Amino acid sequence: MGMENPCQTRKIRPLAEADIEAYLDIYLNSYPAYKTLDAECRQYYREKHLLELREDRLVKTVGLFEDGVLIATMKLILFSMNYFGRMQPACGLMALEVHPLHKKQGAALEMVRYFEDYARENGALLTLLLPFRIGFYRRMGYGFAGKLYEYRLPTAVLPAPERETRKHLRLMQPEDFDEALACYNRFAAKNHGMVEKHEEEIRGARGDIQVRRIGYYDDGGMLLGYAAFRFESASETNYTQNRLSVEELVYENGAVLRALLGALKLQEDLAQTVVLRTGEEDFHHLLHDPQDVSKRYIDFGFLQTNVSAVGTMFKIVDVRDFVEKTAYRPFPAGRLAAEFRYYDEMGHRDECICIRFADGCWAIVKDGAAADVTVTCGQGDLASLLMGSCELEGMIRLGAVSAYGKAQELSRLLHCSQKPWLNSDY
């Protein structure tokens, strides 16, 4: 980070409509992809961001001003997030951008500090972000959520639709969007790590007329799941060669998922390949032949099924508060006191916290309590361990963390049957 001039004064505040032109100067230069920068482009984003400033309540746009000049902006999102089966507050960072001529002067760090204070003030248990530079946020104490797995498959390998399920399938119309949104929110409320959609994301999805949805309805007419997808050309010279790009798979249970995949398989005459993304590690077991269209061979004797990616990174705002507010999380039987030692990257201090597991629950114990196991880890790794993004034993084998005492028993207690993942656009 560069040094800030002590003679300069900086202030962070919410943006007003009067700041829109300065905001656009930063935004259009920070995210140049797909932007023509002509008057029509600028007017489109002017109207978009003015609407957000006027109407959004869960998303707040703030700016860093230096001597009255706007030099950095970001959006802060108040999420409702699933923590081990219960929805609680989280806070997301979106579109952090610094003026092209004010980089390397500590502006981004100052904005992240403001973001974390804002999250704390609003009762968030986690701060979330999608990184452009992973290492930058790792150094600030951020860890990884679950990975996303992208499959590129011949459409023909999807599970065949069963005759009795076809009566439950319906091609959804634009006026069914609110029904789909309610279905998605129920899905988020059942899956660890998912978040409800925020206002900007909902507006974008509602207005995207190129997305098609196939819904699964029960006998009473309730929507139990849907597949949202679009057709994309797979050839520059042959219009009959297409692929299905599946943007969302939302399902009440495995039977609904198989029915939706069967509905996608029915489109194999129009689209020879399908692209879909999931956070389910075991998805390949659902397919008779999960080898992807690359036909890539990996030594020794392995065939590529998918690519995986890290996306959402998170940090626990306050470990004590996190444990207390997730006391409902069920744990296997066992009694254990575990001490976690880590370095607070933004606070620049060593931290130590002890958690006791007993009677199927966890709770914070007083400082100085005798520990059965001591874990030394990075601040980001602590978040991943406590949220169930990784396995303690695996992290020890890799040398990512160190532990002495009953590490195997602690690993068993911390194991989470579903790694936290989300596919939200923020």
pLDDT digits (tens, 9 = 90+) for 341-351: 999 999 999 99
Q: Is the separation of the CB atoms in 375 and 403 below 8 Å?
A: yes
Q: Give the pLDDT band of residue 3 (cuts 50, 70, 90).
A: very low
Dig out the tokens for 111 from the structure: 């904005």
**Buried/exposed code over 402-419 (b: 16+ C-beta within 10 A; e: otherwise):** ebebbbebbbbbbebebb
Fold of 149-309: Aminopeptidase (3.40.630)
Q: Give the pLDDT band of residue 7 (cuts 50, 70, 90).
A: low
Does position 2 have pLDDT exceeding 70, yes or no?
no
Spatial distance between the Cα atoms of 60 and 199, rounded to a whole number of angstroms: 11
Higher pLDDT, 290 or 164: 290
Does position 292 have pLDDT exceeding 90, yes or no?
yes
Dig out the tokens for 311 from the structure: 């996306």
Which pLDDT tens digit goes with each residue over 71-109?
999 999 999 999 999 999 999 999 999 999 999 999 999
Class of domain 10-129: alpha beta
Domains 10-129 and 149-309 belong to one CATH topology: yes
Residue type, 23: Y
Spatial distance between the Cα atoms of 384 and 126, rounded to a whole number of angstroms: 11
Q: Are strands 402-405 and 373-376 parallel, antiparallel or unpaired?
A: antiparallel
Listed by start position, the domains of the chain span 10-129, 149-309, 316-414
59 pairs with which residues across the strands?
77
Neighbours of 237 (CB within 10 A): 5
User: What ranges in 76-126 are assigned the alpha helix state H?
Assistant: 107-121
**In the sheet that 242-251 helps form, which strands lie side by side, from edge to edge?**
169-171, 212-217, 223-233, 242-251, 273-278, 148-154, 307-309
Reduced to 3 states (helix: H, G, I; strand: E, B; else coil), residue 165 is helix
**Buried/exposed code over 220-229 (b: 16+ C-beta within 10 A; e: otherwise):** eeebbbbbbb
Q: Give the pLDDT band of residue 31 (cuts 50, 70, 90).
A: confident
pTM confidence score? 0.93
Q: Which CATH superfamily is domain 316-414 in?
A: SCP2 sterol-binding domain (3.30.1050.10)
**In the sheet that 361-364 helps form, which strands lie side by side, from edge to edge?**
361-364, 349-358, 336-344, 373-376, 402-405
